Structure 1
Amino acid sequence: MNYSHTVKARFLDRPNRFVAHVELDGQTETVHVKNTGRCRELLVPGYEVILEEGQNPARKTRYDLISVCKEGRWINMDSQAPNKAAEEWLLKGGFFPEDISVYRERKYGNSRFDLYIESPVRKAFIEVKGVTLEEDNIVRFPDAPTERGIKHVRELIRCMKDGYEAYLLLVIQMKDVRYFQPNWKTHPEFGMVLREAAEAGVKLLAYDCLVGENFMEICDPVSIDLEVSDGE
């Protein structure tokens, strides 16, 4: 997926979860943050960031903050990007070998899954989770407790038992990571429900992404470790 009208800036601070202050062309600019998560390890004063200029003249902020450079690596933190990148990747044949139709926001049970896939040989629900939390090249999800995430995984188990294929796609919004694991320290219940889903037959997928100044593209598979980390 591509962005247009991007510029580089320097992160200053984040007064609330919706906006941040950056230094752009020597001036302080208030920008919209396209991720309401904590992102404390990403939004560090002095870090270089990428902004996309909005095209709606009526909006309150001129720019969206979409990516950050952490220790020399670009990390996309746009919470809308994983779904868009996943749809493009699937339509280009990134995972399923046959021609498929992709539908967004398909309701099933008490949940609305991000993507629904249909072809002559399959019917599949896919829930997409963007992953931005990284430490020592290990990536984790979630960065805050997510009861909604647990609900989605349980619904995946249910739809699989009803005869559909079910996938949880973890889109790691950066490149060159070692492996993915649940964030046992922050939300152990999410890790347990991932284990339950894997045992029930839900397919857990993790893929990293190429991230540039104006694009993010799903790239290579990343291994998933569901064992509880030492000391957690």
Structure 2
Amino acid sequence: MLFTPPFEQGTLLRRYKRFLTDIRLADGSEVTIHCPNTGSMRNCLFEGEKVWFSTSDNPKRKYSRTWEQAQTDQGHIIGINTGRANQLAEDAIRDGIITELQGYSKLKREVKYGSENSRIDIFLSDDDTDESPKPHCYVEVKSCTLLEDDKGYFPDAVTTRGQKHLRELMEMVSLGHRAVLLFMVQHTGIESVQAAKHIDPDYANLLNQANKKGVEILAYCAEMSPNQASLIKSCPVRL
């Protein structure tokens, strides 16, 4: 995924009211930008460190700048904009990077499914004309950015929505389809992923249930810069 134009750089001052962030620009001026991350951003807020942002030319936006990436005090890069995770996943599937999700002729985004009225991030299927089509594949994408004690965790806050998604994936398996939970690791310091039982024990328990019932759990690490981002390798999921 190329960023055109490349992201601009600033310095993080503070994040507040969930969707707002103050940064200092290179000329010393301070501006407020939009924060596109609805999570707690636990261990992602490094005041005084570098951040990168994009700028929209949409005149209707109150805040034209969007926070995209952050740097930790160890120099790691974090993808702040969770909205980019789905595009990263789609690009990696189409480019053959995610080997486990190859062999499908159709890819759709945001398809309605499940008994709890959800939308699946990525829906994979074969042509309708196949005599023996493969089971449909439902892929739920989650952005992982929490690093604690040299371990990657998800989620960074209690997530009833994430719990619902796990139930929906298990339902798809029970109906004979393929279901995949795909962790997109948008933190260059994370080398493995596991459930944050200390933050959301219910999610951790559901993740174990989903694994036992046949939901496939994958994790892939992203390489990031102000110019581009892409998935480069799979990483272990600790269950």
TM-score normalized by the length of structure 1 = 0.93
1:20/1:176 Cα in 2 relative to 1: closer, same or farther (>3 Å)? closer
- 1:30 matched to which residue of 2? 32
- 1:220 matched to which residue of 2? 233
The answer to whether the 8 Å contact 1:176/1:208 transfers is no
- 1:98 matched to which residue of 2? 103
The residue type equivalent to 1:8 in the other structure is: Q
The answer to whether the 8 Å contact 1:91/1:100 transfers is no
CA shift, 1:47, in A, is 1.3
Counting aligned pairs with the same residue, the percent is 31
- 2:18 matched to which residue of 1? 17
- 1:118 matched to which residue of 2? 125
CA shift, 1:99, in A, is 4.7
CA-atom RMSD in angstroms:
1.4
Q: Which moved more, 1:172-181 or 1:156-165?
A: 172-181
CA distance in 2, matches of 1:22, 1:114: 31
The answer to whether the 8 Å contact 1:125/1:165 transfers is yes
The answer to whether the 8 Å contact 1:145/1:186 transfers is yes
The answer to whether the 8 Å contact 1:133/1:139 transfers is yes
The answer to whether the 8 Å contact 1:142/1:187 transfers is yes
Stretches of 4+ aligned residues off by more than 4 angstroms:
none
1:155/1:99 Cα in 2 relative to 1: closer, same or farther (>3 Å)? closer
Identify unmatched segments of 5+ residues in structure 2.
Answer: 127-132
CA distance in 2, matches of 1:89, 1:178: 18
- 2:91 matched to which residue of 1? 88
2:190 pairs with 177, 181, 197, which one?
A: 177
- 2:80 matched to which residue of 1? 77
- 2:64 matched to which residue of 1? 62
Identify unmatched segments of 5+ residues in structure 1.
Answer: 227-232
Give the length in aligned residue pairs.
226
1:3 counterpart = 2:3: yes
- 1:229 matched to which residue of 2? none
